[in-house]
Chains A and B, each alone.
Chain A
Amino acid sequence: MELNDEQIHRYSRHIILPEVGGKGQKRLLSARVIMVGAGGLGCPVGYYLAAAGVGTLGVIDNDTIELSNLQRQIAHSTERVGMHKADSAKKTFEALNPDVNVIAIKERISKDNILDLIKDYDIVVDGSDNFPTRYLVNDACVLSGKPLVSGAILRFEGQVTTILPGEGHCYRCLFEEPPPPGLVPSCQEAGVLGALPGVIGGLQAMEVLKLILGKGEPLKNRLLIYDALKASFRKVKIPKNPKCPVCGDDPTIRELHDYEAEYCQMRF
């Protein structure tokens, strides 16, 4: 693949970085990334990956846009209320950068389809808003050996971690099981201040770009926690747990299952 004149202009700020160059840009253009969710986190992640020229972006989301999403979900717009988020994301990202092919996947992920959905991609990004999905995505990535960049947000706090199966920790190394529904904030408590997903999604996008380029240190065995009110970041070590039920030495989870608990889906 050769960069054309338009691409040389578009990506010139990448090309002049010693760590990227034309070679790195070509890696970005041939990379395939799949995102779970086109909501608060998925919007900024996809926006930045599209701008950077990540060539193929899968976007899985079965929801439609609601007015209450627009306080933080910046890839959508008022006139698109009612449209599928995956279609809206495709429109926005491809308008920003026609080099990018966005594949809108309007499905609800489950144990039955997730392995098939992620199998043709290099990296998985989790921007989902609930524990059952987070654990399902974690297990699917560990079982299929896919790098996973996971993000989560609530109120004024967010966290990011990069899971490299076989090399580092996974989500279950820290918490073996999803918390019981009663401990998860109810819908009334699950507020998010608008720019928070931008911070966390931006960090996730950066982790993805670093993985594609093979530069820097991924957030492996680390959880990066951002406290917006204190304007502080802290990094917590998460050692790989040899007793982890999915990535440990003697795993008990060898196939996927869904958690159909009574979780608030935070649909607002």
Chain B
Amino acid sequence: MEEIKPDKTINIKGLVCPYTFVKSKLAIEDMEVGEVLEIVLDYPEASRSIPKSMEDHGHKVLKVEKVNDTDWVIVIRKERD
């Protein structure tokens, strides 16, 4: 699978729900439709809830990956304003 280049990356390690999603949503609001957001986080619950909430808001989840013992990387493409 080809590597997706994010247009923006946010690091929300240390944040818990719901602020993990709040920060992610604010980041994606400021982007253009079609752009890609990369989120780095370490709150396990959010690795499941953020992709689900982003899909509920109409965006496309491109990747959810545990990258080491503590961190996940989630990649989202903005699909609508």
**B4 contacts A by Cβ under 8 Å:** no
**A257 contacts B by Cβ under 8 Å:** no
Chain A residues near B23: list those with CB within 8 A: 8
**In the complex, are the beta carbons of A23 and B22 less than 8 A apart?**
no
**A91 contacts B by Cβ under 8 Å:** no
**In the complex, are the beta carbons of B53 and A8 less than 8 A apart?**
no
**Segment 9-40 of B: residues with Cβ below 8 Å from A:** 18-19, 21-23, 25-26, 29-30
**In the complex, are the beta carbons of A22 and B25 less than 8 A apart?**
yes
**In the complex, are the beta carbons of A9 and B25 less than 8 A apart?**
no
**Segment 25-78 of B: residues with Cβ below 8 Å from A:** 25-26, 29-30, 53, 56-58
Residue of B nearest to A22 (CB): B26
Interchain nearest-CB distance for A181 vs B (Å): 54
**In the complex, are the beta carbons of A15 and B53 less than 8 A apart?**
no
Residue of A nearest to B57 (CB): A18
Residue of A nearest to B23 (CB): A8
**In the complex, are the beta carbons of B19 and A21 less than 8 A apart?**
no
**In the complex, are the beta carbons of B29 and A16 less than 8 A apart?**
no
Chain A residues near B57: list those with CB within 8 A: 18
Instruction: Give Cα A66–Cα B81 distance, bound, in whole angstroms.
Output: 50
Instruction: Give Cα A23–Cα B28 distance, bound, in whole angstroms.
Output: 11
**A252 contacts B by Cβ under 8 Å:** no
**Segment 172-224 of A: residues with Cβ below 8 Å from B:** none
What is the predominant secondary structure among interface residues of chain B facing chain A? helix
What is the predominant secondary structure among interface residues of chain A facing chain B? helix
Instruction: Give Cα A180–Cα B68 distance, bound, in whole angstroms.
Output: 77
Contact of A9 among B19, B21, B30, B53 (CB under 8 A): B19
Residue of A nearest to B56 (CB): A18
**In the complex, are the beta carbons of B26 and A16 less than 8 A apart?**
no
Instruction: Give Cα A21–Cα B25 distance, bound, in whole angstroms.
Output: 8
Instruction: Give Cα A153–Cα B30 distance, bound, in whole angstroms.
Output: 43
Instruction: Give Cα A16–Cα B23 distance, bound, in whole angstroms.
Output: 9
Residue of A nearest to B19 (CB): A12
A3 in contact with B26 given A12-B18, A16-B53, A18-B57 (CB within 8 Å): yes
Chain B residues near A8: list those with CB within 8 A: 19, 22-23, 26
Chain B residues near A22: list those with CB within 8 A: 25-26, 29-30
Interchain nearest-CB distance for B65 vs A (Å): 24
Interchain nearest-CB distance for B15 vs A (Å): 10
Among B22, B23, B25, B57: residue with most chain A CB under 10 A: B22
A-B contacts, 24 listed (Cβ < 8 Å): A3-B26, A8-B19, A8-B23, A8-B26, A9-B19, A12-B18, A12-B19, A13-B18, A15-B22, A15-B25, A15-B26, A16-B21, A16-B22, A16-B25, A16-B53, A18-B57, A18-B58, A21-B25, A21-B29, A22-B25, A22-B26, A22-B29, A22-B30, A23-B29
Q: Which residues of B contact A (CB under 8 A)?
A: 18-19, 21-23, 25-26, 29-30, 53, 56-58
